[in-house]
Amino acid sequence: MRSKTTPYPGCRLKLSLGEMMDIPNHDRDKSDGGADNVGEGPPESSALASLLDPSKLPSSGSDIMGDFPQKAEPLNPNPDSRWNTYFKDNEILLQIDKDVRRLYPDMAFFQCPTDYPCQLILDPQNDYETLRRRVEQTTLKAQIVNRNRSGVTNVSSPGKSLNLYPSNEYAVLPCGTEAHWEVVERILFIYAKLNPGIAYVQGMNEIVGPIYYTFATDPNSQWKEHAEADTFFCFTNLMSENRDNFIKSLDDSQCGITCKMLSVYSMLKHKDLELYHKLEEQNIKPQYFTFRWLTLLLSQEFLLPDVIRIWDTLFSDQDRFHFLILVCCAMLILIRDSLLVGDFTVNMRLLQDYPISDIHTILTKAKELQDNS
């Protein structure tokens, strides 16, 4: 059975996520229904197997020609062509790849290999193309073009390539291994494929990162082993509540991010009228700083352990996203003295680089605002 104690950071967050999203119990042996094969595993594994089915997804660009050479021309304008799908997927994948590679750069964790790589993909017998290999195929070969006096053009290829991601910037892991950021990349890519209406939007990596870190660093090896599936499950359910923040067409709707940003100022007006008037007087609009606060659930404002602490409180609250508004309002009130004496430039710097790191103080203030509502 999973421990009900909280002996390490992140345990309480997992309990909050479990209560919020009803995480399946992986602490079981084979005799209790534990599954070995993908077909018998959780829905995440089935989705992955389906997406990587060679009959549905080419292992490389050249394989797209497959059995339909005339219908699968690269320049085929048909939006349903396999080439068109492949190119669109690559655009999404490249953006995800750029974002997850720089996930928490001050921590070594995401660059380190996971103890539980996806054997479904890494097993050479399955002949699946890894996302790492797919991204590497975007490199461009460099050529040198010279023209002599006679007008003859010489083109030489020195064998070098223009790599979007120089190997000296990121440690190259041996075959058969995966870095933690690659697991996060796969989670986001599969989510984008299964949810084409929203696909991938920059910032999603900052939400999935802390969730994955919490599961993948658990001292219980069974939690670690299922970190990818649990993260995908929790992220998908969290996005079902938070996805409107990432849909641009809904920005100005009642459920959009603009309405939520205005809610922060509306609450501030109710709780601290003087500070509200000061920000209005300086024309400091909530969009200037609360967009990042609300969309990324404060994951960019604090260190990862503090983010986990905030999310623990946030996700355990029945009205979690209203409580997020309270936390944002509390953050403003706690620096009111500095904001009241600062000019526009100073105040914008304070709001975009929040100075208080004591999470307990912020959460206590937010709870106080909630109790006095």
Structural domain includes residue 6: no
Token pair listed for 304: 């990862």
Structural domain includes residue 365: yes
Do 63 and 201 lie in one domain? The reply is yes
Mean pLDDT in residue range 14-33? 53
Do 76 and 218 lie in one domain? The reply is yes
Structural domain includes residue 210: yes
Which pLDDT score is estimated for 262?
Answer: 96
Do 275 and 348 lie in one domain? The reply is yes
Domain boundary among 188, 210, 240: 240
Distance from chain centroid for Cα 237: 13
* CB neighbour list of residue 245: distance below 8 Å, 6 or more residues apart: 256, 257, 260, 294, 295
**DSSP secondary structure, 270-329, as one string:** HH-HHHHHHHHHTT--GGGTHHHHHHTTTTTTS-HHHHHHHHHHHHHSTTHHHHHHHHHH
Is residue 11 classed exposed, middle or buried when 0-12, 13-18 and 19+ CB atoms within 10 A define those classes? buried
Which has the higher per-residue pLDDT, 52 or 344?
344
Q: Is the dihedral of CA 13, 19, 25, 27 positive or negative?
A: positive
Q: Which of 248, 243, 282 is nearest to 265 (CA)?
A: 282
* CB neighbour list of residue 335: distance below 8 Å, 6 or more residues apart: 350, 354, 355, 356
Which pLDDT score is estimated for 140?
Answer: 54
Contact 94, 135 (CB under 8 A): yes
Contact 177, 74 (CB under 8 A): no
pLDDT band at 19 (very low <50, low <70, confident <90, very high): low
Do 97 and 69 lie in one domain? The reply is yes
Which pLDDT score is estimated for 212?
Answer: 97
State the CATH number of the domain containing residue 330.
Answer: 1.10.472.80
Domain boundary among 240, 272, 292: 240
- 244: DSSP letter: G
Amino acid residing at 33: G
Domain boundary among 224, 240, 256: 240
Average pLDDT, the chain: 80
Q: Euclidean distance between the first and final Cα of the chain, in Å? A: 40
Query: pLDDT of 269-326, one tens digit each?
Result: 999 999 999 999 999 999 999 999 999 999 999 999 999 999 999 999 888 899 999 9
CA distance 65 to 71: 8
Contact 262, 285 (CB under 8 A): no
Which pLDDT score is estimated for 248?
Answer: 86
- Which range in 102-106, 252-256, 297-301 is most confidently predicted, on average pLDDT? 297-301
Do 103 and 37 lie in one domain? The reply is yes
**Residue 8 pLDDT exceeds 60:** no
Structural domain includes residue 130: no
Q: Which of 213, 218, 177 is nearest to 27 (CA)?
A: 218
**Residue 46 pLDDT exceeds 80:** no
Do 88 and 184 lie in one domain? The reply is yes
pTM over 0.95: no
Q: Which of 112-121, 141-150, 263-272 has the lowest average pLDDT?
A: 141-150
**Residue 224 pLDDT exceeds 70:** yes
Structural domain includes residue 180: yes
Strand pairing partners for 155? 145
Which has the higher per-residue pLDDT, 106 or 165?
106
**Residue 239 pLDDT exceeds 70:** yes
Do 280 and 365 lie in one domain? The reply is yes
Q: Which of 66-80, 166-180, 195-209, 216-230 has the lowest average pLDDT?
A: 66-80
Do 114 and 229 lie in one domain? The reply is yes
Is residue 297 classed exposed, middle or buried when 0-12, 13-18 and 19+ CB atoms within 10 A define those classes? buried
Query: pLDDT of 144-203, one tens digit each?
Result: 556 555 555 555 555 444 455 544 455 667 777 899 999 999 999 999 999 999 999 999
Specify the DSSP element, H or E, that contains 140.
strand 140-141
pLDDT band at 37 (very low <50, low <70, confident <90, very high): very low
Q: Is the dihedral of CA 347, 352, 358, 361 positive or negative?
A: positive
CA R_g for the chain: 24
CA distance 312 to 147: 65
Do 202 and 297 lie in one domain? The reply is no
Q: How many domains does the chain have?
A: 2
Q: Which residue range(s) make up the domain with 94? A: 11-123+176-240
Structural domain includes residue 36: yes
CA dihedral 53, 54, 56, 59 (to 10 degrees): 120
Do 341 and 278 lie in one domain? The reply is yes
**Residue 131 pLDDT exceeds 70:** yes
CA distance 223 to 259: 38
Contact 68, 74 (CB under 8 A): no
pLDDT cut 70: percent of the chain above it: 69
Do 118 and 101 lie in one domain? The reply is yes
